[in-house]
Amino acid sequence: MALWYLTRATGGVALVLLTITLVLGIVDVARLSSQRTPRFVVDAVHRTASLFVVLLVAIHVLTAVLDSFAPIRLADAIVPFGGTYRPVWVGLGALSFDLLLALAVTSLLRARIGVRAWRTVHWAAYACWPFAFMHALGTGSDIKPGWMLWLSLACAAAVALAVLARAAASYSAGVAVTGVTAVLAIAGLALALWIPAGPLANGWAKKSGTPSSLLGGKR
Ligand code: HEM
């Protein structure tokens, strides 16, 4: 039971830190830093936060695997969609974790692999976050009570604002802002329709792929 609580707590903190890491990365690359918070500070906080995310997700995964409540294997944390517990939603977490590891390893090896290869892999950060976000909404026990849902939506709002600011600071700002606004509007609408019919609806535990032996369990 304590392990499962730790899974949930580390998951929530990891999502917040992943959001901070992504937002600071965008602020850094879009040169949105100010005199009060110069670029090297943004850079240092971005790097430190990203290391904490890896550490927290590692604890998140280990506690989920070690807890006897759900049948989750270590392989399920790396190989997406092969598990028996909410396979799609845990699978999205695994995809996010794989990308996170690729981002961390290539950043540590940046001097060896070169800035070009590092930058190409770093674009994956834009996919890492939505996978983690959808994983949290689809797997989290704390979405229905509300607080985790609002925390996740606040993270989404922060990412959306940062991406818009990045588009506005780009070379062809007009086209970029229009394109990003359209994508964000569609994503927002899709979420507004899906959340009440999905994670907040009765029967989501079964629909999301919880093994029938666990349905009706206390957690
Ligand atoms: C970057 C990667 C990941 C992030 C940011 C993340 C974050 C989260 C968040 C925010 C929650 C919701 C917690 C709650 O509702 O209280 C959650 C739930 C969960 N995650 Fe992850 N996760 C990641 C990867 C993984 C992986 C790879 C696994 C596979 C073992 C995993 C297993 C779980 C499980 C089993 C739950 C459900 C716990 C519950 O009942 O609330 N996560 N995760």
Q: Where are the domains of the chain?
A: 2-207
**Cα dihedral angle (43, 44, 49, 55), rounded to 10 degrees?**
120
Residue 219 predicted with pLDDT over 60: no
Question: 28 near 57, Cβ under 8 Å?
Answer: no
In the predicted model, what is the mean pLDDT of residues 76-99?
96
| Rounded-to-integer distance, Cα 78 and Cα 22, Å | 21
Average confidence score pLDDT of the chain: 93
Per-residue pLDDT at 76: 96
- Taking only the tens place, the pLDDT of each residue in 93-124 is 999 999 999 999 999 999 999 999 999 999 99
The residue whose C-alpha atom lies closest to atom 7 belonging to ligand 1 is 11
- Taking only the tens place, the pLDDT of each residue in 62-73 is 999 999 888 999
- Closest CA relative to residue 141, chosen from 149, 130, 150: 149
With a Cβ cut-off of 6 Å, ligand 1 is lined by 7-8, 11-12, 14-15, 18, 57, 60-61, 64, 70, 72, 76-77, 90, 93-94, 96-97, 100, 132, 135-136, 139-143, 148
For ligand 1, the distance from its centroid to the CA atom of residue 213, given in whole angstroms, is 21
Query: How many beta carbons lie within 10 A of that of residue 194, not counting itself?
Result: 15
| Rounded-to-integer distance, Cα 143 and Cα 158, Å | 19
- Taking only the tens place, the pLDDT of each residue in 182-217 is 999 999 999 999 999 999 999 999 999 999 988 875
- Residue 154: C-alpha distances to residues 15, 27, 134, 206, 218 (Å): 11, 18, 14, 27, 28
Q: pLDDT > 70: what percent of the chain?
A: 98
Residue 30 predicted with pLDDT over 80: no
DSSP class of 76: G
Q: With bands split at pLDDT 50, 70 and 90, how would you rate the model's confidence at 36?
A: confident
| Rounded-to-integer distance, Cα 49 and Cα 98, Å | 17
